[in-house]
Amino acid sequence: MASQLMQVYKLIQKEFKLEFRKRVSLASVLLFLVSSTYICYKVFININGLAWISLFWIILLFASINLIQRTFNQNYVRRKWIYYTFYEPTLVYVSKFLYNLFFLLIIATLLLFLMNMFFENFIRLPRLFMSGLLLGTIGITGVMTFVSSIVMHAENNGVLMSILAMPLTLPVILLAVKVHAVSFSLIQDTAVASDLWLLGGIDLLIFGLGIMLFPNMWKA
């Protein structure tokens, strides 16, 4: 177990090294975030709570597609023999997942900051909002990482990524939006805890499926 954790740590470390050697791709995601939020601000100026939530999740969804698309990109395909020889597929998947989750959480925090700066702050129940955001982000990362490992084998994978990932993220996003609507006091729901449990369960399911299925196709 300890050696596996060490391997995951090494893999993530390597990911960071590769990422910061070429900072442009990360910068492009951040620029996308700022520019899309700013466009929304110029278009809407004032928005209500429901529009806030939908804009937040739409921008986060597209940012996550941009970010996670590169998980299994050409760089990975070029180095894949190194991965095959030295690492277990499960550990590669877990490290990619954790690395993506780390960046997506940073992006979500930044987006939260931007949205609150440009628009009004609607959050009434911060703890509920943050737990919905965390669980939603985990679910999106799980789906996107898995889909990214799928489209690695296909041609024109940019288009395919959005086609495959959008409908699959829907259960996560619907539940997260509902939790956020409760945290904005837009709707009253005494059973919101069960929604959070359900969201957590779906996250776990998605992550577990990814770990289970990834070893079957990474050498395809």
Partner 1 sequence: MKYWWWKILAIAIFSYVLLAGMLTPLKSGIYSVDKTKGVLGAPLTLQVETYNTYMSSALQNVAFLKLSDNKVIRSTSIIEKNDFTAQINFDLPASLSTGKSSERATLIINNEVDGSMILPNAILLKEEGNIAKQTSSQWTTFDVASLFPNKGFRFPYRNKLHETIRNTFFHIAIWFAMFILLIIALVYSIRYLSSKDLAYDYRAAAFTNVSIFFGIIGLASGAVWAKFTWGAFWTADVKLNMAAISVLIYAAYWMLRSSIRDVDAKARVAAAYNIFAFVVMIPLIFIIPRLTDSLHPGNGGNPALGGEDLDNTLRMIFYPSIIALTLIGLWMANLTYRLQIIHDKTLEE
Which residues are at the interface with partner 1 (CB under 8 A)?
Answer: 143, 146, 150-151, 153-156, 160, 163-164, 167-168, 170-171, 174-175, 178, 195, 198, 202, 205-206, 209-210, 213-214, 216-217, 220
Minimum distance of partner 1 from residue 53's CB (angstroms): 16
CA angle 40, 28, 98 (to 5 degrees): 100
Q: Please give the single-letter amino acid code of residue 128.
A: L
- Of residues 133 and 164, the one with the C-beta less far from partner 1: 164
- Of residues 21 and 219, the one with the C-beta less far from partner 1: 219
For tokens 């806030």, name the residue: 52
Minimum distance of partner 1 from residue 88's CB (angstroms): 17
- Of residues 119 and 146, the one with the C-beta less far from partner 1: 146
Residue in 161, 30, 12, 13 with CA at minimum distance from that of residue 98: 12
- Of residues 115 and 143, the one with the C-beta less far from partner 1: 143
Minimum distance of partner 1 from residue 179's CB (angstroms): 12
Minimum distance of partner 1 from residue 201's CB (angstroms): 8
Residue in 145, 151, 59, 158 with CA at minimum distance from that of residue 101: 145
- Of residues 3 and 190, the one with the C-beta less far from partner 1: 190
Query: 77-87 burial string, b = 16+ CB within 10 Å, else e?
Result: eeeeeebeeeb
What is the Cα–Cα distance from 169 to 161, expressed in whole angstroms? 12
